[in-house]
Amino acid sequence: MKLVLSATEGEAYYSLLDNLPIPDLQIVRTTTPEATLMEVADADVLYGFPSAEIVKVAPRLRWIQASSAGVEFVARIPELVESDILLTNTRGAHGPSIGEHVFALLLALTRRIPQCLEWQRQRHWGRKEGYRTSHEIRGSSTGILGFGAIGRGIAQRATAFELDLLAVDAQAVDGRPYLDEVWPPSHLPELLARSDILVIAAPLTAETYHLIDAKALAMMKPDAYLIVVSRGGIVDEAALAAALHAGRLSGAAVDVTETEPLPPDSPLWDAPNLIITPHLAGDSGPKERRCVEILRDNLLRFANGEPLLNVVDKRLGY
């Protein structure tokens, strides 16, 4: 079996793949697209991000382990969708780090941390302006759009803050022990109307693209907070900027944007009460290790002819 490692995600932990009990396992590390195309030509497994070119030149390829949880790239590779190549992702690796990042963003908004940092830079003691402007999140209705592994990671941490949880997911998933019922997409208007805090944790698909548009934002409470941590493109960014400028939300935070890096002319840069982090929510050393652990476990399963973990429905895109 030949495995090509083309991803940087988890590379510090590639030693976890040493001495696996898989006969004749050949592991090749590539660092450029050109090298990946060359090495994948006779490979059985790829760890990284595929392309139409990779599928075309790799007739032996049987399985791709994506190094990310989101696999929206499949929509751009019909050759992969139509092929017999298995696709798996690193679902479950990112839940803890993204869950923590959600609350870092939320608490920064509700406790006015960006304003305090600005006062600090100005050497200004802003208690007079800042007093009675913070918000307590305990007891807030918190909607999670997308209740997969990341959504569950958020829900787990939300219980410590005594938040009342609501969730919508396209699949009939079990919300226990965090909530009794995960609603289908038909309940999205109710989720929007009831949420004091809305967290976007859904995958980007044809169905979720600009799902949170101007109409959806208008359904939200005017004092609600919006946190976006899964994929850009689910929230209409122009509509979000307009809502913030009009004071129709208390605040928002985005870790992912439709185009990355965020273009200099994006309306998000100047939107009030908005925190932007540059796609950092999933970042942590333990997460990198978990990605490689998923690859390692799946390699053993693949070698033994067992079902793989985290198999993606290539037509659904998750």
Domain identity same for 219 and 108:
yes
pLDDT at 146: 98
pLDDT in tens, 54-97: 999 999 999 999 999 999 999 999 999 999 999 999 999 999 99
CB 202 within 8 A of CB 146: yes
Scan for tokens 């959806």, then name that residue.
216
| SS3 (DSSP) at 117 | helix
Domain identity same for 60 and 24:
yes
CA angle 136, 96, 153 (to 5 degrees): 65
Does 311 fall in a domain?
A: no
Give this prediction's pTM: 0.95
Does 109 fall in a domain?
A: yes
pLDDT at 93: 97
Domain identity same for 217 and 175:
yes
CATH number of domain containing 231: 3.40.50.720
Domain identity same for 82 and 101:
no
Domain identity same for 299 and 176:
no
Does 184 fall in a domain?
A: yes
Does 121 fall in a domain?
A: yes
Domain identity same for 182 and 77:
no
CB 105 within 8 A of CB 255: yes
Does 64 fall in a domain?
A: yes
Does 13 fall in a domain?
A: yes
Domain identity same for 150 and 267:
yes
- What residues form DSSP beta bridges with 200? 145, 228
Domain identity same for 61 and 112:
no
Domain identity same for 131 and 256:
yes
pLDDT at 69: 95
Sign of CA dihedral 30, 231, 313, 198: positive
Does 19 fall in a domain?
A: yes
For the chain, how many structural domains are there in total? 2
Distances (CA, A) of 156 to 104, 117, 172, 177: 15, 29, 19, 9
pLDDT in tens, 195-211: 999 999 999 999 999 99
Does 312 fall in a domain?
A: no
From the candidates 112, 231, 288, 290, give the one annotated as an active-site residue.
Answer: 231
CB 140 within 8 A of CB 197: yes
CB atoms within 10 A of CB 20: 15
315 tagged catalytic: no
279 tagged catalytic: yes
124 tagged catalytic: no
Going residue by residue through the chain (318 aa), what tens digit of pLDDT does each one get?
999 999 999 999 999 999 999 999 999 999 999 999 999 999 999 999 999 999 999 999 999 999 999 999 999 999 999 999 999 999 999 999 999 999 999 999 999 999 999 999 999 999 999 999 999 999 999 999 999 999 999 999 999 999 999 999 999 999 999 999 999 999 999 999 999 999 999 999 999 999 999 999 999 999 999 999 999 999 999 999 999 999 999 999 999 999 999 999 999 999 999 999 999 999 999 999 999 999 999 999 999 999 999 999 999 999
Domain identity same for 148 and 263:
yes
- Interatomic CA distance for residues 306 and 232, integer angstroms: 35
Tell me, rounded to whole angstroms, the distance of Cα 171 from its chain centroid.
17
From the candidates 118, 129, 260, 306, give the one annotated as an active-site residue.
Answer: 260
Domain identity same for 106 and 120:
yes
Q: Which of 73, 221, 69, 63 is nearest to 141 (CA)?
A: 221
Which range marks the domain in which residue 159 is found? 95-276
Domain identity same for 195 and 237:
yes
From the candidates 157, 245, 279, 289, give the one annotated as an active-site residue.
Answer: 279
